[in-house]
Structure 1
Amino acid sequence: MVVQANTPLGHRGEPWFEDGNIVLLVVDTDSDTTVAFKVHRGVLARHSEIFQSMFEIPSPTLENVEMADGCQVVRMHDRPTELSALIRALYDGASFLHRGIEDFYNVAGILRLATKYFVAHLRREAIKYLLEIWPHTIQGHDRFIERAVRAPLVGDLTYPYVHPLHVLNLARETHVNIILPSVLYFLSLYDLADLLRADHPKLLVKHPSQPSSQMSPRDVKDYTLMYQHRLQIVLDFIRKGCSGREPANTCQSTTGRCQKGFIRLGTRLSQSWVPRIGPLHYMVQAVDHLGEDQDICAQCRRSFKHDTLRLRDKLWAGLPAVLGLPSWEELEKSDMAT
């Protein structure tokens, strides 16, 4: 006996292809309604072995084969908005943008299901999107800061519009490790008490694809490690990289002006830094400030810039190790190969 399941027209999802040969049914838990997607078995199956096994045609002699609109029914256990986004991406290709927080939720849904159903190319594209904002290179970090300074508000939210805690929880959920160091670096700029309250406006935006707003015990630990590491970078740079810096071997000053200039820079930085400061950007600001100090010779200014930029590269390269992770290169190889 074949059991027919009638799907109300009002609950047809997007996409719905009249010439489709399989119907996917999913329950929207928010409204307790069923949403149906009529698609082509072969289109989805060619992208995923999981789909291929799910869509195997049952024997016509089997009982209780659920049908709708003349097609076999497969019941899914996903969010309708995310399943819709995944299907449309499989048909039309993914389009990931940076216009506002809605764009993050779109990629979150696709990444979540691309991981679940082993759609490797969509997973890689989603990870590349995340890396454009949450970088794995020092150059990407600098572009992030520049965008954050220049980008206008969108819906009263500052760039990058999404809270790093949501990005962190999405990364944990989908096993994307390459963005963890930079996300936790930027997350460490937030006060822990505020994070535990989870009342930041970016965390209060409601969306079906919203990741958790709570910090796990593991991430409280990683946050603490990154927070302490970040502060230590600042203090070491002020004390050793500035106040305790010796003039260059080619210093052109014979009156000790350069030495005094470095001490002056260190004093100024020690009086202006705050716990929420980002040390990598702070170093660039120090280089710019010293470049304007004509009391320090050109050779010492040039040497300071060279050493500071090299230190930034070294610190960035060591960021994954703070969390006990392998190098950036190994993380990229692992995540982008899936």
Structure 2
Amino acid sequence: MDVDSQAPIVPGADLIRAEDLWFEDCGLIIQAEKTIFRVSRDHLAVHSPVFKDMLSLPTPKESDMMLGCPFVALPDSAEDIMVFLKALLYYDFFEPYPAPVSYAVLSSVLRMSHKYDLPALRKRALIHLSSQFPTKLDDYESLLLQDPPEWYKELVDVDGCGFHSLTVLACSLSIRWILPLAFYRVCEFSSEGQILRSAHTLDDKIYLFTACRTLEGTSTTNILEFLWHAVLCVSPETCSAGVQQLAARRMKEKSRIRPTTRAPYMPLDIWKLDDWNTLQVCAACLASMKAEHRVAKQAHWDSLPEMFGLPEWSELEKMKAEALS
């Protein structure tokens, strides 16, 4: 957190004034941990019903004053309050999607906007979050063609443990529509020990362990089934569909061996767009295989919510629409 190391310590207390969040002409002092912020009580009251109720109490007694201003000590971390206040006061600190944002800032805004009831700020954060966890397969496949935002890369860069943090946060804030795909990423990047040591509930851990077995086994096998079936080729003299399928299947089966850093390729990712170019088959066989693969992939996508004990996609989409309206 940024603090002004040159700012004077409040007499009699081991407190530090927050840089860029100490305004001499404002009349409310907030403390979070060892950091204090001086801001406008009216500005907070306008944006947050929770602060409005908190600050509508009678004039505080002297013991609840600091430097002649009303004083409020909050139980939140100094980092969360710093992010929360900057998001409110500085228009360019937390800009709408697709502006870049760090995961630390995004998660703080989600927590604080939920706790202190700031719907506009919460909606902005939810749009950032939902952009990488769609509820439709077509939208998911479109994401694969784009470079993910920095906050999402951060989740991957910490050996997948970031997805544990995200899913625990989403559960606590009832952001349920992102959970099927977010839990899927937990299974992809996590070891059994990481799941066991995570802050998830016991029920969620059971769902995750069961899903890991299903995803790495039956689900991936079903996705690759189009490479197992014979294709009714209309030009067998020039098309080697069967041989091509067998070779591609062998290649993909080898990729299912678990490395040390992440799970083997998962059902949604094991057959990539470029892989179609490796199949030197006639147009009719290619179309047939693509159709079969698409059906299997859609069936798997449709099964994701139930795999993690969640409502079906249509219900999750209603929750998303309501939250983002």
TM-score bin, normalised by smaller chain = 0.7 to 0.9
Could you tell me how far 1:329 is from its partner in structure 2? Answer: 4.3
Query: In structure 2, what is the equivalent of residue 193 of structure 1?
Result: 192
TM-score, normalised via structure 1 length: 0.75
Equivalent-residue separation in structure 2 for 1:97 and 1:159 (angstroms): 23
1:1-338 matches, cutoff 5 A: 11-13=16-18, 14-26=20-32, 28=33, 33=34, 35-59=35-59, 63=61, 66-93=64-91, 94-95=94-95, 103-142=102-141, 145=144, 158=157, 163-196=162-195, 213-231=198-216, 232-238=218-224, 240-247=225-232, 251-253=234-236, 257-275=240-258, 276-284=264-272, 288-294=274-280, 296-335=281-320, 337-338=322-323
What secondary structure sits across from 2:73 in the alignment?
A: strand
Counterpart code for 1:50: V
Could you tell me how far 1:83 is from its partner in structure 2? Answer: 0.8
Equivalent-residue separation in structure 2 for 1:111 and 1:270 (angstroms): 40
What secondary structure sits across from 2:157 in the alignment?
A: coil
Sort the Cα spacing of 1:37 and 1:335 in 2 relative to 1 into closer, same or farther, 3 A.
farther
Counterpart code for 1:274: I
Equivalent-residue separation in structure 1 for 2:149 and 2:16 (angstroms): 43
Q: Check the 8 A contact 2:28/2:69 in 1, yes or no.
A: yes
Structure 2: tracts of 5 or more residues without a match: 1-9, 259-263
Counterpart code for 2:49: E
Q: Check the 8 A contact 2:160/2:186 in 1, yes or no.
A: no
Counterpart code for 1:233: S
- My pick for the range that moved more, 185-194 or 38-47, is 185-194
Counterpart code for 1:237: I
Equivalent-residue separation in structure 1 for 2:99 and 2:121 (angstroms): 20
Equivalent-residue separation in structure 2 for 1:187 and 1:141 (angstroms): 17
Q: Check the 8 A contact 1:320/1:326 in 2, yes or no.
A: yes
Query: In structure 1, what is the equivalent of residue 5 of structure 2?
Result: none
Q: Check the 8 A contact 1:243/1:262 in 2, yes or no.
A: yes
Query: In structure 2, what is the equivalent of residue 208 of structure 1?
Result: none
Equivalent-residue separation in structure 1 for 2:283 and 2:289 (angstroms): 10
Could you tell me how far 1:173 is from its partner in structure 2? Answer: 2.6
Query: In structure 2, what is the equivalent of residue 206 of structure 1?
Result: none
Counterpart code for 2:265: I
Query: In structure 1, what is the equivalent of residue 261 of structure 2?
Result: none
Counterpart code for 1:70: G
Could you tell me how far 1:292 is from its partner in structure 2? Answer: 3.4
Counterpart code for 1:18: E
Sort the Cα spacing of 1:111 and 1:68 in 2 relative to 1 into closer, same or farther, 3 A.
same
TM-score, normalised via structure 2 length: 0.78
Could you tell me how far 1:112 is from its partner in structure 2? Answer: 0.9
What secondary structure sits across from 1:108 in the alignment?
A: helix
Counterpart code for 1:292: T
Q: Check the 8 A contact 2:97/2:124 in 1, yes or no.
A: no
RMSD across aligned positions (CA): 3.6
Q: Check the 8 A contact 1:15/1:38 in 2, yes or no.
A: yes
Counterpart code for 1:130: L
Q: Check the 8 A contact 1:135/1:179 in 2, yes or no.
A: yes
Sort the Cα spacing of 1:245 and 1:218 in 2 relative to 1 into closer, same or farther, 3 A.
farther
Structure 1: tracts of 5 or more residues without a match: 199-212
* Number of aligned residue pairs: 302
Cα shift readout 1:205-231 (whole Å, capped 9, x = no counterpart)? xxxxxxxx5443222112123213312
Equivalent-residue separation in structure 2 for 1:50 and 1:245 (angstroms): 64
Equivalent-residue separation in structure 2 for 1:270 and 1:236 (angstroms): 12
Equivalent-residue separation in structure 1 for 2:38 and 2:166 (angstroms): 32
Counterpart code for 1:79: S
Counterpart code for 1:266: R
Sort the Cα spacing of 1:237 and 1:81 in 2 relative to 1 into closer, same or farther, 3 A.
closer
